[in-house]
Amino acid sequence: MNRFIFLTFAVLIISLQSFSQNIDAKLGSGGTFSILNSSNSSILNISESNNNLNITNLNLAATTGPNVGVIYKSGLQIFHTYGNNNLFLGFNSGNFSLSSNANGNIGIGTASLQGLTTGVENTAVGNAALSQVTSGNYNSAFGSFALQPNTLGNNNSAFGYASLRSNTEGYGNTASGVAALYSNTTGHDNSAFGGSSLNLNTTGFFNSAFGMNTLRKNNGDQNSAFGQGALFENTTGYDNSAFGVLALSKNTSGFNNTAVGNYSLQNNTGNYNTAVGFNAGSTITAGSNLTLIGTDANPSSPTALDEITLGNQFVQTLRCNTTTITSLSDARDKKNIKDLSLGLDFLMKIHPREFNWDKREWYTDGKSDGSKMQDLPTAGFIAQELDKVQTEAEAEWLKLVLKENPDRIEASAGNLFPIVVKAVQDLKKEKDSEIAQLKSENEKLRNELESIKELQTRLAKLEQVIINSDVKFTSNISE
């Protein structure tokens, strides 16, 4: 009976709420106010001990409006489903001015999707995530301030605190990691995975960054970076590919470079360079059109041009199933063709040498003293000697010596091959001339010998005649 009276009193209080008056109902210590269903099960209760309101089911009104189906706290909405198939949870998440076309949006977090007008299928989870999007569609933001200023951009995905933090109209971007693609505004179709990857990119497009700080300062296009700090300093460089920790890390405006291996091309600022191997091409700065293959493979100098390097200073053997390197030699690409002026005389001034390697890089102070000299000798040429011969012959155009780096002079002995061929031809001509002369002399001697033989025959006949004549003469005298 007491419960019935209490419930009746409560209903009376609720029915009087339309009057301008204050109605208080006080619960005693540890008391509970409950509303039961027909089965005497609590469907709503308020406990004095913890001030909690417990509701078995909450069925909000199906109609829409700024004051329907909304839960407020301190005068600010914290939950509502305004619009068509939308869900908003958080202080001032979403708004009550959405177009009827704005559907399928989910905003969870303070001010998430706050500026939405006509956008569809946007998902924002995090404080201020996608807070300024208006008509942008199919965006996903997970993390506080992720895609915050995005207004018109579509098809963007941001995962991580402040990822795509500055994006406004950029589209097709994917950012995963704290501050990934942080500065991107209108750049499109970029992918960033890792903290601060593509952090300062604003308008660059078709870039892919995987790893912390990859392409962090980039604003170029069509770059790919995989590995912590890869292409870190790149600003306007384009069409670069870096695979490995700090690969191409200092490249700024260089383009069309490919680096594969940790620290490969890490100091590069040039163009058209390719390095494959740990630390390969690490000494290159402004050099261009260089190819480096193998661990620590580096060119003749940091600014060298148009070179290929196979392996480091320890490589002693090049193996392949052919002994010939094919090169361009089409007559249609050549002018001023004439016989080589250098031959046997030039070649005779070249000095093949036998020596033992004792390289300076094997010593910490860079000075060889013979203590690390290789046991077995080898054969070859001395670059300084080759240079002297070609200089004296005014034939430096032969490029027998590479002097790009004065501290490390290199020899291109293969350039002697045309001279060797010319020398052989000269020897052949000289030999042919000598043989021709000998043949001529032999023929002369043969003719002379034939003449002598003929003379001998005639003399023999004459002698026989004389002998016969003497016999006859002697016979007549006797008679």
- Would you say residue 265 lies in a domain? no
- Report pLDDT for 5: 40
Place of tokens 């193996």: 319
**Closest alpha carbon to 177 in 210, 137, 139:** 210
255-268 pLDDT, tens digit each = 999 999 999 999 99
The pLDDT-based confidence of 214 (bands split at 50, 70, 90) is: very high
Q: Is the dihedral of CA 274, 279, 283, 285 positive or negative?
A: positive
pLDDT reading at 106 higher than 80: yes
pLDDT reading at 466 higher than 90: no
Instruction: Specify the length of the chain in residues.
Output: 479
Stretch among 17-31, 228-242, 332-346 having the lowest mean pLDDT: 17-31
pLDDT reading at 356 higher than 70: yes
- Indicate the pairing of strand 123-125 with strand 106-108: parallel
- Would you say residue 387 lies in a domain? yes
Cβ distance 257 to 274 under 8 Å?
yes
Tell me the mean pLDDT in the region 261-289: 98
- Report pLDDT for 1: 40
Q: Which phi and psi angles does 69 have, rounded to 5°?
A: 65, 35
304-329 pLDDT, tens digit each = 999 999 999 889 889 999 988 888 89
The neighbour count for residue 305, using CB atoms within 10 Å, is 15
- Report pLDDT for 294: 97
- Would you say residue 41 lies in a domain? yes
The pLDDT-based confidence of 4 (bands split at 50, 70, 90) is: very low
Distance, CA of 314 to CA of 210 (rounded, Å): 33
Cβ distance 225 to 242 under 8 Å?
yes
- Would you say residue 402 lies in a domain? yes
Distance, CA of 280 to CA of 269 (rounded, Å): 15
pLDDT reading at 424 higher than 90: yes
pLDDT reading at 12 higher than 60: no
- Would you say residue 184 lies in a domain? no
- Report pLDDT for 132: 94
Tell me the mean pLDDT in the region 133-137: 94
Stretch among 120-134, 211-225, 457-471 having the lowest mean pLDDT: 457-471
- Would you say residue 447 lies in a domain? no
Which residue range forms the structural domain that includes residue 32?
A: 2-14+24-55
- Indicate the pairing of strand 32-36 with strand 305-310: unpaired
CA 5 to chain centre: 81
* 3-state SS assignment for residue 417: helix
* 3-state SS assignment for residue 88: strand
The pLDDT-based confidence of 383 (bands split at 50, 70, 90) is: very high
Q: Please, which residues bridge with residue 45 across strands? A: 34, 54
End-to-end CA distance of the chain: 207
The percent of residues in the chain predicted with pLDDT above 70, rounded, is 93
| CB within 8 Å of 127: residues ≥ 6 apart | 90, 109, 110, 111, 112, 144, 145
* 3-state SS assignment for residue 445: helix
Q: Is the dihedral of CA 397, 401, 402, 404 positive or negative?
A: negative
- Would you say residue 208 lies in a domain? no
- Report pLDDT for 176: 96
- Would you say residue 305 lies in a domain? no
Spatial strand order in the sheet of 32-36: 32-36, 42-47, 53-55
Give DSSP secondary structure letters for 16-42: TTTSS-----PPPTT-EEEEE-TTS-E
Say if residue 186 is exposed, middle or buried (CB neighbours under 10 Å; 0-12, 13-18, 19+). Answer: middle
- Report pLDDT for 67: 74
Tell me the mean pLDDT in the region 407-416: 92
Number of domains present in the structure of the chain: 2
20 or 261, higher pLDDT: 261
Distance, CA of 147 to CA of 166 (rounded, Å): 7
pLDDT reading at 59 higher than 60: yes
pLDDT reading at 139 higher than 70: yes
- Indicate the pairing of strand 191-193 with strand 174-176: parallel
The neighbour count for residue 464, using CB atoms within 10 Å, is 10
Tell me the mean pLDDT in the region 77-102: 93
Q: Please, which residues bridge with residue 123 across strands? A: 106, 140
* pLDDT averaged over every residue in the chain: 90
Place of tokens 């016969």: 468
